Structure 1
Amino acid sequence: MSDMSSAAGAPRSPGRPRSTRADEAIVQATLDLLAEGSTIEALSIEAIAARAGVGKATIYRRWSGKDALLLDALRTLKGIPPEPAGHSVRDDLVLLVGAIGHNVDPRAAKIMPCLVPEVNRSPVHYQLYQNMVEPRRKLMRQVLQRGVRTGELRADLDIELAMALLSGPMLMQRMLRWQPELDDRMLPERIVDAVLDGMRVR
């Protein structure tokens, strides 16, 4: 999975400065093609280059391959993860849970549901998904670990299970509107308060 990491952090060889406009055009072309119905498997560097108005070599100078480009493109759908303030475990968890399933790009509504079958079918695409969500999981993991250290949460807390309990309901509601009568605006607080009842020191 050497091409799963973005080429953005790799050392660059001397030459012309990298064009931010070209980077943006390539990422937007990738998202447009996915939103129009292209599957990950069918999506090609050739098609992305044609839509972006650049040559294939321009893409390969920036990303090591299609998976690396996809990872960067899909991350832009969600935007930058919120940064916990670090004062209150509850408030930090409400902030992070509220960001689950929230996307800054309206194309996500068409793209993300279509990725689920491919993630389940392909180990490569499953790893791409894991790489995309792990930074957000890391933030929640750190908040829970801090709560254990400060004594706000139980010392025997199963961190990974707690993350699943906090994330699952919000993700299901945002993606499937599983219970239409629930108020999404209050749901992050309600989920966190319900789960915290079982995680706090007694």
Structure 2
Amino acid sequence: MPALEDAPRAPGRPRSVRVDEAIVSATLDLLAEGTTVDVLSIEAIASRAGVGKATIYRRWPGKEALLHDALATLKLPGPELAGESVRDDLIALLSQVGPTGHDPRFPKILPCILPHLSRSPEHYQAYQDIIEPRRNRVRQVLRRGVANGELRADLDIELTMAVLIGPILMQRVVRWHPDLDADKMPEQVVDLLMAGIAPH
């Protein structure tokens, strides 16, 4: 593969986005092909991306930081919410939980990195940093529902989020139940739980 190094640039000129993308894509490709997080190396990433190791180190201080940024690209920015119905907004948000087809590598990568999170506090925190903005959107919808009376005033927001997201994540990551359709589950789970979280 021909080298994809940075072209000479004047002082202050922004770094090459094309090179950044090649490095991130190489990282995700290697993970999707089965390279474990432990085995993944800057050398292998550089070789796949067609750059030198120094090019990567000018952008990221090490593998951990690069891995964090690469995994962050797998998450969609999130759907636009109408803000008119808690039910509809929750369904829209839950439809993007887990590997949802934004990047075909995601379904292959996520099951491989989840076990590693329990062994690495740094990667666990990186994972939390990635998912917290999405989790916060669910939190905001639930709080709005409590405030406007769509949901119970005594609702446990954090537990409700776990109950909403957990089944869909399990189905999409490990296909926990072969007879359940993960694409239908956001609506099914929300409707099942609304009876319990709506005002009595």
TM-score normalized by the length of structure 2: 0.87
Partner of 1:50: 47
Matched, 1:152 2:150: yes
Which of 180, 183, 186 matches 1:188? 186
Provide the rounded CA distance (Å) in 2 between the counterparts of 1:62 and 1:103: 28
Provide the rounded CA distance (Å) in 1 between the counterparts of 2:53 and 2:156: 47
Matched, 1:66 2:72: no
Note the C-alpha offset of 1:177.
1.8
Letter of the 2:183 counterpart? R
Unmatched segments (≥5 aa) in structure 2: 1-10
Provide the rounded CA distance (Å) in 2 between the counterparts of 1:143 and 1:150: 11
Which of 108, 112, 123 matches 2:121? 123
Question: What's the Cα RMSD here?
Answer: 1.6
Matched, 1:75 2:72: yes
Letter of the 1:94 counterpart? I
Provide the rounded CA distance (Å) in 2 between the counterparts of 1:87 and 1:191: 19
CA contact (8 A) 1:77 1:108 kept: yes
Provide the rounded CA distance (Å) in 1 between the counterparts of 2:41 and 2:12: 26
CA contact (8 A) 1:78 1:103 kept: no
Which of 77, 82, 85 matches 1:85? 82
Which structure features the higher share of helix residues? 1
Unmatched segments (≥5 aa) in structure 1: 1-13
Note the C-alpha offset of 1:186.
2.4
Provide the rounded CA distance (Å) in 2 between the counterparts of 1:85 and 1:112: 29
Q: Deviations over 1:161-196 (max 9, x none)?
A: 000000011111111222222233322111001111
Provide the rounded CA distance (Å) in 2 between the counterparts of 1:88 and 1:157: 17
Note the C-alpha offset of 1:86.
1.4
Provide the rounded CA distance (Å) in 1 between the counterparts of 2:119 and 2:186: 31
Going from structure 1 to structure 2, the CA distance change for 1:48 and 1:19 (only over 3 Å counts) comes to same
Partner of 2:136: 138
Which of 170, 173, 193 matches 1:172? 170
Note the C-alpha offset of 1:75.
2.1
